[in-house]
Every structure is written in structure tokens, then in C-alpha cells.
Amino acid sequence: MVVGNLGKGSAVMSIRGVRIFISLFGFLTSLGLAACGQSAETRSVCQLSSRWNVASADVASVLADLGSLSAGQIRDTMFEVVANLQAFNEVAPREIKTEIELLLNTYGALSDALEAIDWDGSAAYQDAAVTSAGVRLASDEIQNAQADFARYISDNCSVEIGNAVNQFPNVGSTLPDPVIPSDDEKNLDVSADNEDSVARAFGYVVVERFGLAITDDQANCVGSALLAATSGDSSIIDMTYWDMLQQIFNSCDVKIDVTTALEDE
């Protein structure tokens, strides 16, 4: 009788042991599958990818038709794009962290510039800060970042981004050559931050027409020198503009031969 009870107890313990083993095996197997699959960061990116696909398509439409859209539509679209990139930036894996930060900084600067003109799309192409952000958005660095980000989503999330690369249409052609400040531009806020922003914007716009990428310091140098030089007699500026521009490029270490560039156009 005692032996029988012991046998029955052992059988019960064995069944419990099997159940525990099965449970542990299932748990460890699930952990192993997770380890062999996507990382937590990649899964988070994939969860956001469909939302980004919509936001990217929306901002492409807005940038293509900025002058005819309402302030509310422009504002909502830019807020959504920046909010998306902020969410990505919090979870982005190391492979695309740099690209996300570049896109967040660029779209954020564009959003700030548009907000500063009260989301007035009709005024956007005449605003130095908006134009500067548009030039950045059209740069090779930012276009490559957008393409790399879309490729990561495609490879890891099975989602194709419909508007992988967005940019301002005809960026850099909104300011005439020579650049003569209007009365409004001469009366701009002369605070240090605004002055630097305007100078940098002019620098980027002027150099962009020659198809050369430059640094912030070079853009500041060109823009500041150009604004100072064009504050004089406009008739003299018109006659000497290209020579003056070549001198500015030389002094700012911008490698452009103006005469050759104009001949090749």
C-alpha cells in the first residue's frame, strides 16, 4: 500500500515535471525566435512605417503646391511629419539613427521657417529661411538619407514608401541674379540670430545655382559678404555683379569659377 502510494506520488510529480518542462521549453523557444528575428527597435520602426508612408505622401503634395494651400493644411502636414520623425528618433536602431536625425533637423527647420511666416504658402518662396531649408532638403545628403531610410523600411518591414524622397520644386531659383535686397529685406530684424539666418540662406541660394554643396560656414561667409556688397548703388552692382561674386567666392574658399560656370549653362 505504501509502495503504491509512493508510485502514485512519483507519477504525479513526473507529470508536473513534464508540464513545467514543456512550459519552460515553449518560453525559451519564443525567446530564441525573438532573438533570431527583428530587434525591438526594428519592430518599433515597422509599427510606425505605415504612418510615415502617409505623412511622406502628404508632405510631397504640400511642397509641390505650397502657394495654393491653406495655412491649416500646411501646418497640420508639417506637424505630422515632424511628429513622425520624433517618434522614429526615439526608437531608431543604430543603422539608421544618423539618417533619422538628419531628416528630423531638416524637416524641423522647414517647419519652423513656415511657422515664422504664419504658414503662408504664397510667401514661402520669397522667405530666406524657408528657401534655405528648401535648399537643405534638396541636398544630396538629405536625399540620400531619405532614400536610405525608405530602403531600411522596405527591407525590414515589407512596406514600400511611396514618396521616398521629397524636396522643394525648383529650389534655388526663387531669388534673381543679381541679388538686390528689397526695402523689406533691408528692414529685417537685425538681431544676431535672424541676421545669421538670413545671411546663411542667401549664401546657400546663390551657391546652389552653381550646383556645389557648401558648409554652413561657407554659406554664412558668402551670404554676409553678398548682403554687404549689395547695399550700395544698384546700377553699379548690376554691372559688376559677376566679378563681385567671384571675389566673394574666392574669399570664402568656395571653389567656383563663375565665368566657366556661366559659359556651360
Q: pLDDT tens-digit profile of 41-94?
A: 888 999 999 999 999 999 999 998 888 999 999 999 999 999 999 999 888 888
Residue 88 sits in which domain range?
40-157
79 within some domain: yes
89 within some domain: yes
Percent of the chain past pLDDT 70, that is, above it, reads 71
169 within some domain: no
Shared domain for 89 and 146, answered yes or no, is yes
Mean per-residue pLDDT for 217-234? 75
The confidence score (pLDDT) of residue 40 equals 87
Shared domain for 16 and 125, answered yes or no, is no
Shared domain for 221 and 235, answered yes or no, is yes
Q: Please name the residues in contact with 19: beta carbons below 8 A apart, sequence gap of 6 or more.
A: none
Q: Whole-angstrom Cα distance, residue 183 to residue 56?
A: 37
Residue 133 has pLDDT above 70, yes or no: yes
Q: Whole-angstrom Cα distance, residue 26 to residue 245?
A: 72
Shared domain for 21 and 78, answered yes or no, is no
* Number of domains the chain contains: 3
Domain-terminating residue out of 121, 140, 157? 157
Shared domain for 206 and 122, answered yes or no, is no
Handedness of CA 133, 138, 141, 146 (dihedral sign): positive
Mean per-residue pLDDT for 190-195? 44
CB-based burial of residue 209 (10 Å sphere; 0-12 exposed, 13-18 middle, 19+ buried)? Answer: middle
Q: Which residue has the higher pLDDT, 96 or 140?
A: 96
Q: Which residue has the higher pLDDT, 74 or 29?
A: 74
Residue 183 has pLDDT above 50, yes or no: no
167 within some domain: no
The confidence score (pLDDT) of residue 195 equals 54
